[in-house]
Amino acid sequence: MYGAHGPDLGEVLSLWAIVPFAGMLLSIALFPLFAPKFWHSHFGKISVFWSLVVAVPFLVLYRGSALYEFLHIVLADYVPFIIILVALYAVSGNILLRGTLVGTPRVNTCILVIGTLLASWMGTTGASMLLIRPFLRANSQRKNRTFMVVFFIFLVANVGGSLTPLGDPPLFLGFLRGVPFFWTFNLVVQMIVVVVVLLVIYFIMDSYFYRKEKDGLPAYKEEKEPLSIEGKHNFIFLVCIVGAVLMSGMLKLGEVSIFGVHREIEGVIRDGLLLLIAFLSMMTTRKEIRDDNEFTWFPMQEVAILFIGIFLTMMPCLKILQAGEKGALSVLVKTVEEPYHYFWVTGILSSFLDNAPTYLTFLSGLLGKFYSGAGGHEAVMNLISDKEIYLKAISAGAVFFGAFTYIGNAPNFMVRSIAEETGTEMPSFFGYMIKYSIPVLVPVFGIITFLFYL
Amino acid sequence: MSIEKILFPTKFRELAFDALDSLTVLKEAGLKEIVFLHVILREDVGFVPFGGYLKKEEEKMRAEARIRLEDWQKTLDEKGIKSKIIIKVGRPVHEMIHAAEDEKVDMIVVGRKKRIDIENTFIGSYTHKVITRIRLMTFVSKYMVEYKFDNAELTKVNDRPFETPLITVGGDEELSQRAVDSLKKFKGAVKKAIVFFNIDEKMMDEKNKAEMEQLKEECKQKCGKYCEQLGAAGIEAELHLGAGEILDEILRVSRERKASMIVAGNTSEHRFLENLLHRSISYQVTKSSELPVLLVP
């Protein structure tokens, strides 16, 4: 047995143990790029494959300890993670923005501002799904729409989600590990800097292209429809989601054992409430609203299937990192030292891997480095009181850099898919980076480093 | 008024063309145009996890569908029926409803046009969604079905669905009248209509022989007017009464009288609880009968 009565599992695992995790993340990075059709048809099997590659040998070698760790990561991390995504996705999918918007630079900038503000409260996925179609409709007559969608991904699908654990999955995983709900407000100044710089760049670009295109733009054929929001009562459900998550962070009701895994009762109640909210939202909203929103559960199913693979394969990696300098990744733990190291390394890895597991990996790394062997929530509170800048660095890195590539954050691919479906040409994986991420985001993140982490 | 424009959604399943061909007889009833709708499922081309959208795949699927539909168009051209092709990416039911509204069609054709196994019910999930959501005359086509009758496994080809329709009346008079009025639009394609009225167990409760006779006469009179209306519209019609469980009686009479389809008022539409329990008679008939069903809103 490992853990309570023997050496920690993370201390005895070798680097080989993280091969399935690397395989899983590389599959997510490379298959959509080089074999998208194959990936589209078989991503579930690939997720199962990597899960088995890690689960079978672990269960054979470490039996009870391995089973406990797998159950723990599924019940304590994966299930709440999927439930919050489902709740936010369902509720935001039941809100429909109708009306005619004309895509001028001012209107577009306003949409981006609204989306950025909403993202922290309805999730980057929810805000993106709510606004991307109206945004594209507003600009249907414009010729150069690509840069608009890219900035939408930057702001609404990523940076906007940095203020609360509801905003972006990595921050919710941090919340589950003990980061207080309102702690993420500490990122507000960094967020404002990034948002303002990006909006200024956007406005200049949009104004330039608008002036260039203005004379050639065809007149709007459709009759002007006044702006309106349908399914407004779902905003109440959004408030309920915030309330349920807040409640779970504030109450301490003890623990309950589920399959031998101790879970806080308030967390279980929160998950139940979130499912109930999602159900009530679906039941109380007319189906036509979802139809007109082109709502489908399919992207959420994909995320659920892929992330079970990610979470299972991630377990050994997290354990090794939690072991700090006693673990097989001690070199990494020793090398990454300064806050700006954490900002950039978390960020760059978040760009090419999904940002949620990357955040969790680096959070575990930090806890292993500074508080090796200490309990989860207690270590997190110590980290906040003694070394807060490190937590800020990995939080900002994970959220901001999620915009760096299409695979950095789940809503990126949903926005891209909808844009391409409606006839907006989007750059390739590398085109996105070369034309937009590197010239725009790298200097902005340079400013953030200079202002906050040096 | 006649059925001038039909929406024909297709996934190019087995026997879909035969089902289409069986509709062309409606030219005799005034059919002028068939609108083909092929929906490429968004899930088949969009939301590639962490990828994006399979544009080339969509273009390929569109091209394939167009080639097939253009070939079908030739057949319709030869029969003097106009046609139009719509290919969309999205969700089938949503696109069907939108296309039906945009094109202002008189009838939508849904249902499995391929062989239907005995084990399956005669209604699919798309058909279920359409008939419970659309306010439009809906023809549930079942071109070839396998079914059980007297413990024998039989195959039925419904290639002349409009020849001998069985129309169910009674209960809701307004709905019955709408069903009769709808059937009149098929004049030219219908040879003889069977007007069916069921005397259910409630109506028969505690009635003596004389009262039963009186009830029968009342029912005959009540339904006779529908036969007269059809006759006046040029459709020969005869009345048949059933007694007992309505679904069993509809199935029995439709088989005995060799009906070619069943016409029923669509009581599935917008009845949440009944739909949830699959209890509405029109739904049950559509699900259980081996015959095509025309649902009238």
Q: What is the pLDDT of residue A218?
A: 67
State phi, psi for A332 to the nearest 5 degrees.
-65, -45
Among the partner residues A296, A354, A413, nearest to B48 by beta-carbon distance: A413
Distance to chain A for B120, nearest Cα, Å: 26
Our measurement of the distance from residue B288's CA atom to the centroid of its chain's CA atoms, rounded to an integer in Å, reads 13
| Residue B59, number of CB atoms within 10 A of its CB | 11
> Average pLDDT, stretch B73-102?
93
| Residue B164: predicted pLDDT | 94
At CB < 8 Å, which residues of chain B contact A? 42-43, 45-55, 57-58, 89-91, 94, 97, 133
Q: How far apart are CA B272 and CA B77, in angstroms?
A: 42
Q: Do B50 and A28 touch (CB under 8 A)?
A: yes
What is the complex's ipTM, to 2 decimals?
A: 0.75
Q: Flag whether residue A420 sits within 8 Å of chain B, measured between CB atoms.
A: yes
Q: Which of A40, A146, A282, A286 has the most B C-beta neighbours within 10 Å, making it the best mutation to test the interface with B?
A: A40
Q: State which residue of chain B sits closest to A301, comparing Cα positions.
A: B49
Exposure string over B83-97, b if 16+ CB within 10 A, otherwise e: beebbbbbbbbbbbb
Residues of chain A with pLDDT under 50: 1, 3-6
Chain B CB contacts of A417 under 8 Å are 46-48, 51-53
Nearest-angstrom CA–CA distance, A215 and B171: 64
Q: Which of chain A's residues have a Cβ under 8 Å away from the Cβ of B48? A: 32, 36, 39-40, 413, 417
Per the DSSP assignment, residues forming a β-bridge with B139 are: B109, B294
Whole-number Å distance between alpha carbons of A424 and A184 = 34
Strand partners, A261: A258
Q: Say which residue, A153 or B152, is predicted with more confidence.
A: A153
Interchain CB distance below 8 Å, A417 and B90: no
Q: Is A29 on the interface with B (CB under 8 A)?
A: yes
- For an interface test with B, the pick among A28, A306, A417 (most B C-beta atoms closer than 10 Å) comes out as A417
Q: Residue B66: pLDDT band by 50, 70, 90 thresholds?
A: very high
Place of tokens 């008189």: B106
B18: three-class secondary structure by DSSP? helix
The phi and psi torsions of B37 (rounded to 5 degrees) equal -125, 120
Task: Quote the CA–CA distance of A416 and A154 in Å, as a whole number.
Answer: 12
Q: What is the pLDDT of residue B277?
A: 46
Percentage of chain B exceeding pLDDT 90: 39
Contact criterion met (CB below 8 Å) for B183 and B269:
no
Going from the C-alpha of A222 to that of each of A136, A137, B49, the distances in angstroms are 15, 11, 34
Q: Taking Cα atoms as reference points, which of A19, A39, A41, A20 lies closest to residue A29?
A: A39
Q: Residue A417: which of B53, B57, B94 has the nearest Cβ?
A: B53
| A37 part of contact set with chain B, CB < 8 Å | yes
pLDDT per position as a tens digit, B233-279: 889 998 998 888 888 899 999 999 999 999 988 765 545 554 554 45
Provide the 3-class DSSP secondary structure of residue A219: coil
- Mutating which of B44, B45, B50 best tests the A interface, going by the most A Cβ atoms within 10 A? B50
Chain B residues touching residue A302 (CB < 8 angstroms): 47, 49
Which of A287, A294, A413 comes nearest B49 by C-beta? Answer: A413
CA–CA separation, A100 and A153 (whole Å): 22
Average pLDDT, integer, range B18-22: 91
Tell me which of A120-124, B149-153, B189-193, B227-231 is least confident: B149-153
CA distance A45 to chain B (A): 13
**Cβ within 8 Å, pair B42-A296:** yes
3 state SS of A375: coil
Residues in chain A closer than 8 A to B55 (CB atoms): 420
Q: How far apart are CA B190 and CA A62, in angstroms?
A: 75
Of B76, B75, B72, B86, which Cα lies nearest the Cα of B31?
Answer: B76
CA distance B265 to B246: 14
| pLDDT given at position A408 | 83
- Percent of chain B residues topping a pLDDT of 70: 92
For the cut 80, the answer to whether the pLDDT of residue B121 exceeds it is: no
Sign of CA dihedral A205, A208, A211, A217: negative
CB A329 within 8 A of CB A320: yes
Which token pair is A267? 């967390």
Dump the DSSP string for B131-187: HHH--SEEEE--SEEEEEETTEEEEEE-S-TTSSEEEEE-SSHHHHHHHHHHHHTTB
Of residues A302, A414, A421, nearest to B89 (C-beta):
A421
Contact present, B26 and B186 (Cβ < 8 Å): yes
With an 8 Å Cβ cutoff, are B49 and A43 in contact?
yes
Question: pLDDT tens digits for A243-254?
Answer: 999 898 888 888
Whole-structure pTM value? 0.81
